[in-house]
């Protein structure tokens, strides 16, 4: 699965997607598209009976920054772990 954050949303690509029920394959395929925010979507959710009163809206910049920070932390920790187990230095 490939997911890239772009200025107008998320570019999403998933290959070799299989949907199963136990061992029975129900569908196979791929997904390639872009997910983006759309203004004034409240009526779609209200018509479906969804209560949005407790939903916190987070902008794309926050999501991108949080994700980038998490990835940087994970890479730093992995480098530290490699250094700890590298007995040949």
Q: Please compute the mean of the pLDDT values over residues 36-45 and round it to a whole number.
A: 66
pTM assigned to the model: 0.30
| Res. 88 pLDDT band, cuts 50 70 90 | low
Residue predicted with more confidence, 71 or 48: 71
Residue predicted with more confidence, 83 or 71: 71
- DSSP bridge partners of 2: 13
| Res. 43 pLDDT band, cuts 50 70 90 | low
Task: State which H helix or E strand residue 14 sits in.
Answer: strand 9-21
């Amino acid at each position: 699965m490939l997911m890239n954050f772009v200025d107008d949303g998320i570019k999403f690509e998933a290959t070799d997607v299989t949907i199963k029920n136990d061992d029975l394959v129900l569908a196979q395929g791929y997904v390639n598209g872009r997910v983006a925010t759309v203004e004034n979507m409240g009526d779609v959710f209200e018509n479906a009976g969804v209560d949005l009163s407790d939903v916190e809206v987070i902008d794309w910049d926050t999501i991108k920054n949080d994700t980038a920070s998490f990835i940087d932390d994970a890479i730093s920790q992995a480098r530290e772990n490699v250094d700890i187990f590298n007995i040949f230095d």
